[in-house]
Copies of this chain bind each other. A is one copy, B any other.
Amino acid sequence: MNTLSVNLGERSYPIHIGSGLCTQAALIPEKLLKGKIVVITNDTVAPLYLESVLSGLRARGAECMPIVLPDGEAYKSWETLNRIFDELLSHRCERKTPLIALGGGVIGDLTGFAAATYQRGVPFIQIPTTLLSQVDSAVGGKTAINHPLGKNMIGAFYQPQVVIADMDTLRTLPPRELAAGLAEVIKYGFIRDAEFLDWLEKNIDRLIALEPEALAFAVERSCQNKADVVAGDERETGERALLNFGHTFGHAIEAGMGYGAWLHGEAVSAGMVMAARFSEKLGYIGKADVQRVVDILARAKLPVAAPELGAARYLDLMGHDKKVEGGRINFILLKKPGAAFISNQYDAAALQAILSTPKQTHA
């Protein structure tokens, strides 16, 4: 097991990465196991890991209360959140009752937002079971639910007490979900870690083959990148925005296709290609750099062509993004592979071109 730290002063917390961790209640601080503890998961993850997580907690004396939600992005909604609140209230959960998120990004975001707002905040623990949540959503304290007019529009910055990333849970991950997680892993390479990008280009096949050692390294390196960025800019007033590389386009794809049709990582993958092409169009990078983005994503079995929603629809959807400021969209662009920057200075015609011909990214 390796342990990283997210350094946020009094809100600092550890990330434990390794095999066989999710049953080890020993990784959860003693003071959180004194009374009731709520484990929130979904009906895909529950049959796989819930019982062993509960056993571990019970063995340490905790009184467990599981909540099993339906699986899927469509349930990252106010209705599901309210169902959690109903259960917490009817079971008289208190201000010190911890909530454990056992699942992927949807479970983590929902549980985190419930923890941030139930009685104005209760302790929160992340046990991410997908690659995407292990390398991205479980770290950094962003929590949210979707709104019909936009993804993650309602939420809070709320840090967990501990993140436990168990490599074993990745064995049961469907290949499409694994690929979706790799999109975020690859993202770290392009935005700030050229050395990691080189490693990924050499080792991407080992990751797809689920080699435990390669996976643990990729998760650890990704978490280290995320922890560094978050420690420097917890509430996204600056550098943290770089983590959104590919996400402005990606969120538009997810919303435009209907939440759940494209996985978040798939939309981010196509979005990163769009962002790379936009960076090329604006003269920041060359054709070969764009190809590098396309190639590694394609090797990770991710979509590199965006759906044809039409430029007008893309613009409309992107106008709802949280990265809009003063009516202009803040884009994350590449100045080279391994270095991204944020800019709202762009030529509208260039943007139009990217949005009008997304299919050409395949060429």
Interface positions of A (Cβ within 8 A of B):
34-35, 78, 82, 85-86, 89-90, 92, 94-96, 116-121, 142-144, 147, 149-150, 152-157, 235, 319-320, 322, 324-327
Instruction: For the complex formed, measure the closest distance between the CB of A67 and the CB atoms of chain B, giving whole angstroms.
Output: 16
A156 with B82: CB separation less than 8 A: no
Closest B residue to A88 by beta carbon equals B153
Q: Which of A89, A96, A154 is most buried by chain B, counting CB atoms within 10 A of its CB? A: A154
Copies per complex of this chain: 2
B90 with A155: CB separation less than 8 A: no
A156: chain B residues at CB < 8 Å are 116-117, 120-121, 156
- 11 A-B residue contacts at CB 8 Å? A78-B82, A85-B153, A92-B320, A92-B327, A94-B326, A95-B322, A117-B155, A120-B142, A120-B152, A120-B155, A120-B157
B149 with A86: CB separation less than 8 A: yes
B324 with A92: CB separation less than 8 A: yes
Asked, given contacts A92-B319, A325-B96, whether A144 binds B120 with beta carbons under 8 Å apart, the answer is yes
- Bound complex: CA of A143 vs CA of B120, how far in Å? 8
Instruction: For the complex formed, measure the closest distance between the CB of A331 and the CB atoms of chain B, giving whole angstroms.
Output: 15
B119 with A153: CB separation less than 8 A: yes
A327: chain B residues at CB < 8 Å are 92
Instruction: For the complex formed, measure the closest distance between the CB of A138 and the CB atoms of chain B, giving whole angstroms.
Output: 16
- Contact check: which of B154, B157, B235, B325 meets A85 at CB < 8 Å? B154
- Contact check: which of B35, B85, B235 meets A147 at CB < 8 Å? B85
- Bound complex: CA of A150 vs CA of B93, how far in Å? 12
- Contact check: which of B78, B94, B144, B325 meets A324 at CB < 8 Å? B94
